[in-house]
Structure 1
């Protein structure tokens, strides 16, 4: 087997992103904070923005439904950058090692088109990717097969004859890697940098595995 390109998910693999990072500052009580994130500013609501809904529409709609939480709802996107704590060093170390080994690298992320420019501006390692497919820009979202096809089209813009089986996709959500596998890709469910690096080597990817703390 020959792997000719690696496609990375971002959140949970390369980025430490969580609404908890912001809302710990706004709701001190753990139970009340978790209730708010489970019932008001939910992951399902945020996913709608990753799929292309504007932040303004999302915020206004939710405030209409829950006016008593207006200030907390507004904070979600006004202070969104505080949810992005930073890079995950182990995942980025794998990325950089693959780049050093001259492996073509691509990104495929569920991310709002309006917030992703912040990441581009503040995280230089994103320049290592030949192309990044952002769900909010396409208005498609993982695990929809259409977004994987769009990603493969971008890979083929650089490697025209590549086959799906020669692409490996790394994601921290098992359902997203399973969707890639169903389309003929190789898939790695990322649970730790050590396991991901070992799986890459098992797939025949030659690179110097970083030392993880």
Structure 2
């Protein structure tokens, strides 16, 4: 295995906690109702189309037309969107900051995020400035886990065949695609687990 020189971070649920149930637990009477709504109405497939560039307003109207009985709850999804977030994941931010301070690694980020909404993250989480650059799915109109965004990443930042690159993401699907393209991947579970996985690969700071 080549010595790691470039580390590519996912952002949601690696550096910043995200779960729409945090909002809907306030909207519905029980966690079970909130979970059902998020799983069946404002589900991941719908959300990921915004990550791929679909406008927020269009997405909302499409879903309201499909489920008019849930109009109030659907509109809350983006009206109160910042309530999806639990804040920075401190242990991972510490790893990122230590890597940055060491000067030993090229630091990039690859995130599934709406282009309309990502400026909020940049404004509210200063540690995102540690990255050389952040590829936002909604801006490039591609999204993980599709291989095209990984290949676009490689071309944009001249990463070649991904030798010496390491990808960190909480999604099994995204990690599987990365590995299929020759990009070593750590499926993130916790900051402690991440530190151990980095140490196994000889990543030091």
Q: Same fold (TM over 0.5)?
A: yes
Q: Over residues 114-149 of structure 1, what are the superposed CA-to-partner deviations in whole Å (9 max), with x where a residue is unaligned?
A: 111100111100000001011111111111111011
Consecutive unaligned residues of structure 1, counting only runs of 5 or more, are: 208-213
Secondary structure in 2 matching 1:13: coil
1:163: how far off?
Answer: 4.6
Gaps of 5+ in 2: none
Q: Identify the residue that residue 113 of structure 1 maps to in structure 2.
A: 115
Following superposition, the deviation at residue 196 of structure 1 comes to: 1.5
Distance in 1, Cα, partners of 2:141 & 2:19: 22
* Pairs aligned (count): 203
Match of 2:186 in 1: 188
Structure 1 residue matching 2:178: 3-state secondary structure: helix
SS at match of 2:204: coil
Cα RMSD for the two superposed structures: 1.3
Task: Name the counterpart of 1:173.
Answer: 171
SS, match of residue 163 in structure 2: helix
SS at match of 2:149: helix
Q: Which residue of structure 2 aligns with residue 199 of structure 1?
A: 197
Equivalent residues of 1:104, 1:130 under 8 A apart: yes
Deviations along 1:26-81, one digit per CA (max 9) or x if unpaired, are 11222222221122111221111111111111100111111121111111011111
Counterpart CA distance in 2 for 1:169 and 1:32 is 35
Name 2:84's counterpart in structure 1.
83
Query: How many Å apart are 1:15 and its aligned residue?
Result: 0.7
The one of 137, 140, 143 aligned to 2:139: 137
Question: Aligned equivalents of 1:154 and 1:96: distance in 2?
Answer: 24
Question: 1:204 offset after TM fit, Å?
Answer: 2.0
- TM (norm. structure 2) is 0.94
CA distance, structure 1, for counterparts of residue 102 and residue 171 of structure 2: 26
CA displacement at 1:92 relative to structure 2:
0.8
For 1:164 and 1:43, locate their aligned partners in 2 and report how far apart those are by CA, in whole Å.
28
Structure 1 residue ranges (4+ consecutive) displaced by more than 2 angstroms after TM superposition: 153-156
